[in-house]
């Protein structure tokens, strides 16, 4: 069980100028030690994770099983020096734990805890031979740091990927162009309208007009709390551009703030067709297109 | 004037003016320089007066840029045609062009616009009372 007792003096003798061989000799020893004490160290690590109340969003048995995989991967990296497998695993792990609400500091925290737990066990084992301990740590620390680095970077990358994906999703969802009647489109806009979204809105609106051969477009901004002056200008320009394409724009659901902003920038009211709410806007659009909507009951009664 | 004849013909290559009942349909196929625009303007106005057209459609769908001179020329053309008793509808302005024009402050004034040729013809029918001249009115 204690091979280090015999191996111990050997590296001490060839200490100088043999650092590479030193590492090569020490790392397998290190790995063997960590493998032998796997159960105990793993348990200690899991305990420390719980003590530090990290990963609070995960169940204890989940923590333990992930801890086991991380531990095995960790030892494997120490042994082979290749972080590829770990990278893959860390990415996979991140994919699983990010939806559970695990934070970056928790991931970095648990990897550093494992590093501490293992370092502590090395201290305990080699504390009698200080120079050996030093060399063991020389071999251990760079590898351990690289692992910590790899795991955190993988986690952050995965998070960023998720964020990008969500941004794309929001961007796609944020300006739907809906056809409600022939030649009548509705664009409901919800949420903050910033410069980028306003530009996107313009693109969607103008290409929507062409794609659907629209004559009237109702832009409903009930869900937009406020806009700044440049976005308000952009909105007015979009209305003008739509007119150049032969489509009238009706804006509905202006908030009082937006109304004030529009007046402050001196918008030409003869160009802006605004109606209070979406229902009124659709009714106005139908009137412009020559539709009349009647309840079926009323229509039947008139015929009788 | 032989030189003039030849250049007029060159304009014909990038512009066509067709007569359809009381309407004239002018399609611009390629970007025109300032000279060509001027000749196009003269030629179209000449035909409006010659055929006593009631409506003019200018199709600019093939243009992916429009400068301020171009939009001013189109606007002037529409006003001149108006003075001769014809309503002008400009059709086929591309989305990018439309927004660029607005951003650069290029204005077609009170000129009517429509999405495409078909919409433009419908619009002309509305504006002229299907061929009969209606009182002057701008877009609402």
Q: What is the mean pLDDT of each run of 10 residues along chain A (304 residues)?
A: 42 44 73 85 84 79 81 82 80 82 84 87 86 84 84 87 84 80 90 84 90 93 86 89 92 88 82 88 91 82 69
Distance CA A121, CA A118 (A): 5
> Do A141 and A21 have their domain in common?
yes
A116/A35 same-domain check = yes
A164 and A31, same domain (yes or no): yes
Lowest mean pLDDT across A56-60, A298-302, B38-42, B124-128: A298-302
Q: Name the average pLDDT for chain B.
A: 82
Q: Are residues A166 and A198 in the same domain?
A: no
Q: Would B138 be classed as within a structural domain? A: no
Residue B122 inside a domain? The answer is: yes
Model pLDDT, residue B6? 52
Average pLDDT over all residues of chain A: 82
Residues A157 and A240 in one domain: no
**Residue A152 and residue A280 share a domain:** no
Residue of B95, B99, B102 with shortest CB distance to A210: B95
Buried b (16+ CB within 10 A) or exposed e, A86-96: bbebbbebbee
**pTM for this prediction:** 0.60
- CATH number of the domain bearing residue A289: 3.30.750.24
Domain limit, last residue, from A137, A171, A205:
A171
Same domain, A55 and A30: yes
Contact status of B138 with chain A (Cβ, < 8 Å): no
A271 touches chain B (CB under 8 A): no
Contacts of A151 (CB under 8 A, 6+ apart): A70, A86, A90, A107, A108, A111
Residues in chain B: 140
- For residue B37, which phi and psi values (nearest 5 degrees)? -60, -45
The first and second tokens of residue B83, run together, are 């003075």
Which tokens belong to A284?
Answer: 């106005």
Q: How many independent structural domains does chain A possess?
A: 2
Residue B109's closest chain A neighbor by CA? A244
Q: Is A190 helix (H, G, I), strand (E, B) or coil?
A: strand
Contact: B139, A243; criterion CB under 8 Å = yes
* Out of A212-216, A262-266, B37-41, B96-100, least confident range: A262-266
The domain that holds B95 is classified in CATH as 3.30.750.24
Owning domain of residue B41: 2-128
**A83/A194 same-domain check:** no
In this structure, what CATH number is given to the domain that contains residue A51? 1.10.490.70
Looking at the domain assignment, is residue B86 inside a domain?
yes
What's the pLDDT score for residue A303? 67
What does each C-alpha distance from A39 to A30, A43, A49, A63 come to in angstroms? 16, 6, 15, 15
Claim to verify: residue A163 and residue A261 sit in the same structural domain: no
Helix (H) or strand (E) run with residue B57 in it: strand B55-59
Does residue B72 sit within a domain?
yes
For residue A237, the chain B residues in CB contact (below 8 A) are 99, 102-103
What are the tens digits of pLDDT across the range B51-89?
989 999 999 998 888 888 888 888 899 999 998 889 999
**For chain B, what is the domain count?**
1
| B95, B113, B114 member nearest A207 (Cβ) | B95
Of A151, A171, A191, the residue that ends a domain is A171
Any A CB within 8 A of B98 CB: yes
Q: What's the maximum distance between 2 C-alpha atoms anywhere in chain B?
A: 46
* Residue B16 confidence (pLDDT) above 70: yes
Nearest to B93 among A202, A238, A244 (CB): A244
> pLDDT digits over A37-82, tens only?
888 888 888 888 888 887 777 777 888 888 888 888 888 887 887 7
Residue A249 is predicted with a pLDDT of: 93
- The separation between CA B94 and the C-alpha centre of its own chain, rounded to angstroms, equals 15
- Say whether both A231 and A131 belong to one domain: no
Same domain, A26 and A62: yes
Residues in contact with B11: Cβ distance below 8 Å, sequence separation at least 6, in sequence order: B32, B36, B39, B40, B43
Domain that holds residue A134: 3-171
Q: Are residues A144 and A187 in the same domain?
A: no
- Domain assignment of residue B82, yes or no: yes
Give me the residue label for tokens 């919800």: A190
């Amino acid at each position: 069980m204690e091979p280090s007792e015999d191996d111990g003096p050997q590296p001490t003798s060839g200490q100088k100028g043999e650092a590479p061989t030193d590492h090569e000799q020490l790392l397998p020893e290190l790995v063997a030690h960590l493998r032998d004490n796997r159960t105990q160290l793993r348990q200690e690590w899991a305990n420390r994770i719980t003590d530090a109340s990290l990963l609070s969003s995960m169940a204890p048995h989940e923590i333990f099983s992930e801890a086991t995989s991380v531990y095995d991967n960790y030892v494997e990296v120490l042994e082979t020096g290749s972080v590829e497998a770990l990278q893959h695993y860390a990415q996979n792990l991140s994919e699983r734990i990010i939806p559970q609400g695990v934070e970056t500091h928790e991931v970095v925290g648990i990897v550093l805890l494992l590093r501490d737990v293992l370092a502590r066990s090395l201290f305990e084992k080699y504390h009698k031979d200080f120079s050996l301990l030093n060399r063991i740590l020389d071999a251990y620390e760079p590898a351990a740091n690289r692992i910590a680095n790899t795991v955190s970077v993988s986690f952050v990358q995965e998070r960023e990927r998720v964020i990008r994906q969500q941004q794309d999703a929001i961007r796609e969802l944020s300006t739907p162009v809906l056809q409600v009647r022939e030649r009548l489109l509705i664009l409901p806009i919800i949420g903050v309208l910033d410069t980028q979204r306003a530009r996107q809105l313009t693109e969607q609106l103008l290409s929507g007009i062409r794609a659907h051969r629209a004559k009237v477009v109702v832009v409903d901004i009930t869900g937009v709390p406020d806009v700044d002056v440049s976005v308000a200008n952009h909105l007015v320009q979009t209305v003008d551009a739509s007119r150049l394409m032969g489509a009238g724009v009706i804006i509905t659901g202006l908030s009082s703030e937006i109304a004030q902003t529009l007046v402050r920038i001196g918008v030409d009211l003869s160009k802006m067709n605004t109606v209070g709410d979406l229902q009124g806007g659709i009714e106005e659009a139908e009137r412009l297109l020559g539709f009349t909507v009647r309840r079926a009951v009323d229509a039947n009664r008139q015929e009788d | 004037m032989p030189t003039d004849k030849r250049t007029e013909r060159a304009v014909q290559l990038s512009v066509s003016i067709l007569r359809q009942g009381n309407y004239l349909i002018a399609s611009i196929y390629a970007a025109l320089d300032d000279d060509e625009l001027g000749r196009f303007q003269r030629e179209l106005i000449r035909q409006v007066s010659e055929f006593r057209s009631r409506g003019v459609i200018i199709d600019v769908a093939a243009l992916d840029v429009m400068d301020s001179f171009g939009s001013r020329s189109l606007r002037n053309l529409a006003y001149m045609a108006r003075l001769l008793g014809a309503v002008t509808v400009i059709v086929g302005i591309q989305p990018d062009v439309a927004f660029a024009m607005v951003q650069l402050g290029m204005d077609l004034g009170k000129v009517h616009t429509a999405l495409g040729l078909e919409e433009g013809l419908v619009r002309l029918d509305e504006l002229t009372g299907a061929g009969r001249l209606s009182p002057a009115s701008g877009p609402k």
